[in-house]
Structures are given as C-alpha cells and as structure tokens.
Amino acid sequence: MDERRALSPDLVLDLGNKGILGMAAIDRADGGLTFDQQLKIEEQLAAIDITLAAFVGVNNALGIVPIRKFGTEWQRRHLPELAAGRVLAAFAFTEPGAGSDPRGMESRAVRQADGGWLLSGTKWLIGTGKWAGLIVVLANAFDGNKALGATAFLVPNDLEGVVQGEETLTLGLRAMVQNHIDFENVLLPSDAVLGAVGGGFDVANEAMQLGRIGIGAIALGALKRCLQIAVRYTERRQIGDGRLIDRALVQEQLLENACRVSLIEHAVRACGTALDTDGTVPVAFSMALKIIASESTWNTVDRTMQLLGGRGYDEANGVAQMLRDARVLRIFEGPTETLATYVGALALFKTRHFAADLQSFLSEPELPTATTGIIHLFKEAIARLPASGKSRRIERLSFELGDVLSWHLLAETLKRRVPDPLDAVRVWTDRIIREKHVRADRLLKAPVPEHHSPIWHLLVQEIETDFGLGPAFKAYERQGTDALLRPVIPPAVGLR
Ligand SMILES: Cc1cc2nc3c(=O)[nH]c(=O)nc-3n(C[C@H](O)[C@H](O)[C@H](O)COP(=O)(O)OP(=O)(O)OC[C@H]3O[C@@H](n4cnc5c(N)ncnc54)[C@H](O)[C@@H]3O)c2cc1C
C-alpha cells in the first residue's frame, strides 16, 4: 500500500463492511461501539499501519462526527452510506495561507438571493480529499459585505465547481491521498450549512477534539508495536559477548518506551471513559495528550530504528515506514508548538475555567499544588514584564508553561492505576516533570531579550554567497516546490 501510494479497494470495502469506517456513525443504543472501544480499534489499527488508522480516523472523527452532531435530518441521511463505507468523508479546513493559525482563512461563502451560498477558495493537504463523496468545508460566510463568521458546509464532491487538485506527495501516510481542492464558485443550497451560520469553529473544534484523542490512541498503538519490535530484536541480537537487551543503556531505553506506553494508555483510557459517561474531555487535556503522544511516538520510533541499526533503516522491516508515518502526528490537528502555547495561555488567562474543567475530568476537588504553583510562577513573571516586547514574551512563556502542564495533566491520570511494585512509570514521569520545571525556571530567570540578534541573516547571506540561491527557478517549478520555499516568490503568491 505504502509503495503504491494507495489503499487496496478490497481493504476499504472490508473496513466498510465491518463497520470500522463508520464506527462513529451508529449510536450505542443502536448497537454502536463505545468511544473507548473505538479508541481501542484505532490503537490496534495503528499497531498494524499508522496510515490505516489515520484513514479510519479522518472518516470517523473529522467526517462523520460533524455530520452526526451538527447535521440536519436531511444531512444525516448520509450517515448509513458513510457508516457502510460506501461513501467516504473528508474535512477541508487548511489552506495555503491558513494552517496552524486558521485566522488566515480566505475561503468565502456568499449568501445568495434564494438563501443558497456561493463557495470559493482553495484548500490543501486534505486527507481522503479526492476519494471522498462528502466534504466538510470551512469558509468565511458573508451576506453582501456583512461578515457572518466562519461557517461549516457539507459539500458533495460531485457538485459543479468542486475541482479536485493534485496530490501532495507526502513523506508518510503515502497510502492515503492528501490533495488540493479548489472550490470555484460552487453553488450550494441553503441546507448545506452544517451547524449554525457563524458557528464553523464549533464544528471544527468538535471534530478536532476527537481527532486529537484519536491521535493519542494511534500513538499508543505505534508505541506498543515499537516496544514489541525492540524487545524482540534486542533479545535475539548478540553483540560482543552478550545480548543487546542486557546492556544497561538499552534497558533504560526500553524502560522509557514502556513508561510512555503506560502513561499514554492511562490518558487515552481516561478520555474514553469520560466520553462514554458525560461526553466531555477538557480541550486542555486533549491537547496535552496529543502533544505528549505525538512527541513520544516520534522519539520512540526514532529510538527503535536506532536500536535496530541497519535493520531499522531497511524498508523491509517496517520501522522505516513507521518513522515516516509517525512524523505527521506532531504536525496535523495542531502542531505541538501551537497547542502547547494554547494550553499555556488558557492556564494563564482563563485559570478558573482551566482548573474547573480539569478538576471535574480528573474527579479531583482541586488541581495539585505543583500544577497551580507553576501557573502562579508564570503569572508572576508575566506581571513583571516590561511593556516593550511583552506580547512576544507572553507567547514564548505560554508555550513553555503549556509544555510543562501537559506532563502534569497526563501524570494525574496515573493516580487511577494500580501501581506496579517499583512504581516505575510514576518515577519516570516525575523525573521528566522535574526536568521540565528546571528548564521553565531557567527561562523565567533569563533576562528578557530586547530583540533577537540577526545572526541568521548574516549566515544566510554567507550561505547564499557560497552556495547560490539553489536550483534555477524553472527547476523548482518542475519539482513542484512550494512558492514560499523558492529563491524568489512568484508575484502571484505574495507574503502574508
Ligand atoms: C499528511 C497530512 C494530512 C493532513 N490532513 C488534513 C486534513 O484532512 N484536513 C485539513 O484541513 N488539514 C490537513 N492537514 C493540514 C495540517 O492540519 C496543517 O499542515 C497543520 O495545521 C499546520 O499548518 P501549516 O502546514 O500551514 O503550517 P504553518 O501554519 O506554516 O506552521 C508551521 C510551523 O510553525 C510552527 N508554529 C506555529 N505556530 C507557532 C507558534 N505560535 N510559536 C512557534 N512556532 C509555531 C509549528 O512548528 C508549525 O509546524 C494535513 C497535513 C498533513 C501533513
């Protein structure tokens, strides 16, 4: 599948026939699966192939969930065909100018005299885009010149003006298409709106919230597979006078992999339980899970490749594809930096809301003092900041705080488990948290930089003098290099 850059049709049919492509479409009361069961299936799929899990995740969390939760009776009539996998769904939010920060979104939907909408814009990197029969599209809605806010629309792929563009040849997830989609004055009926006019971010947030938890489950499957492969190899591999697994360094590495599995497993189960009982997981927790799960997977797959030496680098042994596939987990559904900055800002500026949501999720009367203490330290540091450059510094501190807090939040779910005799996971997690605190402390005590030194400008000038600008302009066009990465930006693109 990976080499051919396509899923085999029989596999897609099989996933549909078994209900896996439509896990999120059926109510539990009608025989559907619990959220926790769905997360376990995602985990198992990822242990087989991360691409497969991502494909199933897009259809369910990003495609079906918004339709099920926000769709009208008329829109929900699509659910049975989506549940059976006869029609696939995609979610089109990202644009060339709006990725990690969706405020740059330029797609427009203008209300027509008959109540319908005229949709125009370009989306890109859309998973399952050209395979999907139905696309959830986000666009800024207008009534004449009046802005109505970001709005979600359910757009059938076969409408006139929906132009499925070229595939992006990505590093990983190769078996699953990601492509450009142009919406060239697509006429939509009034009932194409999904949710409320102006309520597009509610729809997107709901989908991405489940998407982030799903990434936690995908990461868990990949981490477990890494542990299995690493133990298998190091137990069998003789190096010098003994087995690789008996080396102290290797044992530390395996312990770290096992601790990451355990920490993330507890967090994923906590999300599954919460979704199955009161239906909510705090946004900060889902982001913390996504951050730690995706970073852990990248770290661990890389480590597994290293442990396997040349066999890790050999495509035949599976780890190479896992490495390529795992990399995107840190980027999509919000890059780590964006999410950590958001979590930190929530804790700093909506502290009560942040704490109340987490307390109820963790069933704790209050957040632990270590968690509230670090928030307090950052707040104090922000209060002392000089006015000049303050917002840049706040953003930087928010990222750091979000990173530390993510570990605190996941560590809280460990309290629910039966501790192993050595309490190894707790000890390992506490050590990471202590290291993060030291780093945060250093940052808080560092003098606020007045402005950044332009050292990289000087170096880049030197590099360009020594190496030139790169291949000729035409060569970049042939390779399809993104306009923002060419030596000269074509006039049509402009800089945001
Ligand atoms: C394989 C794949 C599948 C995808 N599928 C879909 C899909 O189905 N639907 C969809 O809508 N989109 C999809 N995407 C798009 C994805 O969501 C975006 O790539 C992602 O949101 C990042 O946006 P961007 O690529 O424009 O990066 P940019 O917005 O240019 O960000 C670049 C980098 O800047 C850094 N950064 C961002 N904010 C900050 C900050 N505040 N401080 C410091 N650093 C920061 C981060 O490291 C980030 O990675 C997919 C992407 C990939 C690669």
Q: Look at residue 494 and tell me if it is in a domain.
A: no
98 and 178 part of one domain: yes
User: Is the C-beta atom of 55 inside 6 A of ligand 1?
Assistant: no
Residue 246 lies in a domain: yes
Closest Cα to residue 62, out of 95, 88, 87, 97?
88
Q: Looking at the structure, tell me whether residues 218 and 134 fall in a common domain.
A: no
Q: Single out the residue in 281, 302, 324 at which a domain terminates.
A: 324
Q: Is 332 in the pocket of ligand 1 (CB under 6 A)?
A: yes
Three-class DSSP category at 139: strand
pLDDT, tens digit (0-9, with 9 covering 90-100), for 106-162: 999 999 999 999 999 999 999 999 999 999 999 999 999 999 999 999 999 999 999
Q: What is the CATH number of the domain that holds 145?
A: 2.40.110.10
Where are any strands of DSSP class E within 314-473? none
Q: Is the CB of 126 under 6 A from ligand 1?
A: yes
Q: Of 129-143, 301-315, 343-357, 364-378, give the lowest mean pLDDT range.
A: 364-378
From 171, 327, 332, give the residue whose CB has the most ligand 1 atoms within 8 Å, as the site to mutate: 332
Mean pLDDT throughout 68-85? 93
Evaluate whether 216 touches 290 at the Cβ level (below 8 Å): yes
Domain check: are 361 and 408 in the same one? Answer: yes
pLDDT tens track for 471-496: 776 777 777 888 888 887 766 655 54
Q: Which atom of ligand 1 is nearest to the CA of 90?
A: 8
Residue 457: count of CB within 10 angstroms of its CB: 9
The residue among 366 and 161 whose pLDDT is bigger is 161
Q: In angstroms, rounded to a whole number, what is the distance separating the alpha carbons of residues 420 and 425?
A: 8
Single pTM value for the model: 0.95
DSSP secondary structure letter of residue 134: E
Report whether 493 contacts 484 (CB < 8 A): yes
- Residue range 379-432, pLDDT digits in tens: 999 999 989 889 999 999 999 999 999 999 999 999 876 666 668 999 999 999
Confirm or reject: Cβ of 122 under 6 Å from ligand 1. Answer: no
Q: 155 lies in a domain?
A: yes
Q: Is 329 a domain residue?
A: no
* CATH code assigned at 52: 1.10.540.10
Whether residue 493 lies inside any domain: the answer is no
**Domain that includes residue 313, residue range:** 206-324
Q: Which residue's entry shows tokens 């319908």?
A: 116
Among candidate residues 60, 83, 106, the one where a domain is terminated:
83
Structure token pair of residue 414: 């460990």
CATH number of the domain where residue 279 is located? 1.20.140.10
Which is the closest atom of ligand 1 to the Cα of 138?
Answer: 11
Last residue of a domain, one of 202, 226, 246: 202
User: In what helix (H) or strand (E) does residue 135 lie, and over which residues does it extend?
Assistant: strand 134-143
Q: Are residues 120 and 75 in the same domain?
A: no
Give how many domains the chain has, as a whole number: 5
pLDDT at residue 374 above 80?
yes
Flag whether pLDDT at 181 surpasses 90. Answer: yes
Q: Is 207 in the pocket of ligand 1 (CB under 6 A)?
A: no
> 44: which residues sit within 8 A by CB, 6+ positions away?
221
